[in-house]
Amino acid sequence: MAQNVEAALPDKYKNMSEWYTEILERAEVIDIRYGVKGFIVYRPFGMILMKNIIKLFEEELEKTGHKPFLFPVVIPERNLRMEKEHIKGFEGEVFWIEKGGYTPLEERLALRPTSETAIYPIYALWFSSYKELPFKGYQTCAVYRYETKATRPLLRGREFLWIETHNVYFTEKEARDQTVEDAEIFYKVATEKLGIPFLHLKREEYDKFPGAVDTYAFDTLLPDGRVLQIGTTHYLGTNFTKVFNVVVHDEEGNLVNPHSTCYGIGLSRILASILLIHGDEYGAVLPFDIAPTQIVIIPIYKAGFENKEIDKYCNEIHESLKNEGYRVIFDNSEKTPGEKYYYYDMRGVPFRIEIGPKEVQTSKVTVFRRDTRSRETIPLEQLKEYIVKTKDEILKNLREKAEKRLKDNIIEARTKEELIEAFKKEGRKIYKVFFCGRKECADEIKSVLEGLETRGTPINEKGEGPCVWCGEPGHICYLAKAY
Ligand SMILES: [Zn+2]
């Protein structure tokens, strides 16, 4: 069926919410009509994109010694209740299974909101000697949280996809170093391969993962000026290994609790960030490596010239690019070229090759580049080289634009007056201030400045000064409104 060419999308910087709703539907990323609040359907385009993102992270995790495993989705209530801070943090968000068929269960089962309490009782059985450590394990799965805030597709759902690692170390140093490696893995994939920049922050004490000693988070900036947490890594100390009785003997034969970390990679949110940060009024703009379709070939038939000639030329190009291992489509369907352009632009296909009589007669190809929306006609024999070179340029272009926007949206404020004044003028941005670390100050800032939250201390910047709110000694902290 021919699809009509619809109007362009709204400006995402002016109306992000509408832009986002439109693209999810028009590009067929997900279906929001499942009928259960907070649950969505990943359509084939969205799921292929997701699998390509997952692959990049899994490769990086396995390169750094992480082994895959899969734990059950249900967690017995007694496990979940063992770590006191942990259950306090999650209790209000747990989905419970209470019955099997007609029979009430002897013990309620939780749908995992995160898997520490599923995994540690088994770790207690797996490890007995320091020689078995470190152990680095991960799983890619869905987790369930009964969100009471308004849900938004991919950004905040009651079911979402993530990768979680659960690592165990003999020493504190190794465990703390892991949180640094986690950030490096995140940078390698999110920024270097997906073009998504982020702030690497240490969360404030009152804002840590329930049960963690230290929490580090990765926040990116969305077009509406809000930040989105897309990953976190936590040093858990011996909190979980103690509670779940994970014990190993050291060289002298003493029994000790090892140290542990966990790391969450927010896959659903990363997918949303890629769409929101790189997209434009024509739809998604995707880095070549993750695009479900990387190249589309479109014939431009003309009266007075044999269609068969054009098809033959297109077929040859199609075969040769397929042999290079690219995901390439030759679309000679009934739709008009304009309808096809609309369709593939919306889905972020990085390269479109247009072939008309002129290209066939001169052995050339016209290539349209999705990110810059520019066209170039080049000799056919240079096509492969062009793609290899230009796919990297696309990523570089997307990344640089996103990095510049993040940098340009950080505003410094030294005093309460300066901060209030700046917020009045600039609205939703990231504010760089000194902050005392007290929750009372954070709560006041949040209520006075319409939801502005303390997001934590940047890892790569050191500095001290008087708290922007109360004047007491403080550290550098970023403030932003968050999803
Ligand atoms: Zn303060």
pLDDT tens-digit map of 116-157 = 999 999 999 999 999 999 999 999 999 999 998 889 999 999
Cα of 230 vs centre of ligand 1, distance in Å, is 27
Q: What's the rounded Cα separation, in Å, for the pair 231 and 198?
A: 10
Q: How large is the average pLDDT for residues 4-24?
A: 91
Boundary (domain end) residue, out of 250, 278, 306: 278
Q: What's the rounded Cα separation, in Å, for the pair 461 and 184?
A: 17
pLDDT for residue 2 is more than 80: no
Q: Let me know whether 359 and 439 are in one domain.
A: no
Q: Which two tokens stand for residue 175?
A: 């465990």
Q: Let me know whether 333 and 219 are in one domain.
A: no
Domain-embedded: residue 285: no
Domain-embedded: residue 147: yes
Cα of 436 vs centre of ligand 1, distance in Å, is 4
pLDDT for residue 7 is more than 90: no
Region of poorest pLDDT, from 3-17, 38-52, 130-144, 353-367: 3-17
Cα of 216 vs centre of ligand 1, distance in Å, is 21
pLDDT score at 95: 97
Domain-embedded: residue 475: yes
Q: Let me know whether 254 and 314 are in one domain.
A: no
pLDDT score at 108: 97
Cα of 90 vs centre of ligand 1, distance in Å, is 28
Residue identified by tokens 């029979």 is 103
**CATH code assigned at 352:** 3.40.50.800
Cα of 426 vs centre of ligand 1, distance in Å, is 22
DSSP sequence for 71-122: --SEEEHHHHTTSHHHHHHHGGG--EEEEETTEEEEEEEEEPSSSHHHHHHH
Is the dihedral angle over the CA atoms 403, 165, 62, 268 positive or is it negative?
A: negative
Cα of 406 vs centre of ligand 1, distance in Å, is 26
Cα of 86 vs centre of ligand 1, distance in Å, is 27
**Cβ proximity of 243 and 82 under 8 Å:** yes
Cα of 473 vs centre of ligand 1, distance in Å, is 8
Q: Let me know whether 300 and 274 are in one domain.
A: no
The model's pTM is: 0.96
Boundary (domain end) residue, out of 248, 278, 308: 278
pLDDT for residue 221 is more than 90: yes
Q: Which two tokens stand for residue 310?
A: 């054009």
Cα of 217 vs centre of ligand 1, distance in Å, is 22
Domain-embedded: residue 372: yes
Q: Domain range spanning residue 302?
A: 295-390
Q: Let me know whether 129 and 28 are in one domain.
A: yes
Cα of 467 vs centre of ligand 1, distance in Å, is 5
pLDDT tens by residue, 258-270: 999 999 999 999 9
Neighbours of 334 (CB within 10 A): 7
Cα of 412 vs centre of ligand 1, distance in Å, is 16
Burial zone of 16 (CB within 10 Å; 0-12 exposed, 13-18 middle, 19+ buried): middle
Of 277 and 83, which is predicted with more confidence?
277
Q: What's the rounded Cα separation, in Å, for the pair 434 and 438?
A: 12
Tally of domains in the chain = 3
pLDDT score at 106: 96
**Cβ proximity of 92 and 80 under 8 Å:** no
CA atoms within 13 A on the CB side of 386: 21
> What average pLDDT does the structure give for the chain?
96
pLDDT score at 1: 39
Cα of 197 vs centre of ligand 1, distance in Å, is 29
Cα of 456 vs centre of ligand 1, distance in Å, is 13
Cα of 440 vs centre of ligand 1, distance in Å, is 8
Q: Let me know whether 419 and 462 are in one domain.
A: yes
Q: Let me know whether 270 and 299 are in one domain.
A: no
pLDDT for residue 84 is more than 90: no
Q: Let me know whether 218 and 137 are in one domain.
A: yes
Cα of 452 vs centre of ligand 1, distance in Å, is 14
Cα of 414 vs centre of ligand 1, distance in Å, is 12
Cα of 477 vs centre of ligand 1, distance in Å, is 11
pLDDT score at 86: 83
Q: How large is the average pLDDT for residues 450-475?
A: 96
Is the dihedral angle over the CA atoms 234, 196, 425, 20 positive or is it negative?
A: negative
Cα of 470 vs centre of ligand 1, distance in Å, is 4
pLDDT tier at 107, thresholds 50, 70, 90: very high
Residue identified by tokens 């409104």 is 481
Domain-embedded: residue 11: no
**CATH code assigned at 37:** 3.30.930.10
Q: What's the rounded Cα separation, in Å, for the pair 209 and 233?
A: 9
pLDDT tier at 4, thresholds 50, 70, 90: low
Q: Which two tokens stand for residue 167?
A: 């690592």
Q: How large is the average pLDDT for residues 192-200?
A: 98
Cα of 32 vs centre of ligand 1, distance in Å, is 42
pLDDT score at 88: 87
Q: How large is the average pLDDT for residues 288-311?
A: 96
**CATH code assigned at 434:** 3.30.110.30
Domain-embedded: residue 398: no
Cα of 7 vs centre of ligand 1, distance in Å, is 49
Nearest to 355 by CA among 374, 342, 346, 368: 368
Q: Let me know whether 86 and 142 are in one domain.
A: yes
Domain-embedded: residue 397: no
For ligand 1, a single-atom ion, the residues with CB < 5 A are: 436, 441, 467, 469-470
Q: Let me know whether 303 and 431 are in one domain.
A: no
Q: Let me know whether 164 and 272 are in one domain.
A: yes
**Cβ proximity of 326 and 295 under 8 Å:** yes
Cα of 87 vs centre of ligand 1, distance in Å, is 29
Cα of 6 vs centre of ligand 1, distance in Å, is 51
Cα of 465 vs centre of ligand 1, distance in Å, is 11
Q: Let me know whether 97 and 223 are in one domain.
A: yes
Domain-embedded: residue 265: yes
Q: How large is the average pLDDT for residues 16-34?
A: 97
Boundary (domain end) residue, out of 340, 361, 390: 390
Cα of 203 vs centre of ligand 1, distance in Å, is 16
Region of poorest pLDDT, from 50-64, 81-95, 163-177: 81-95
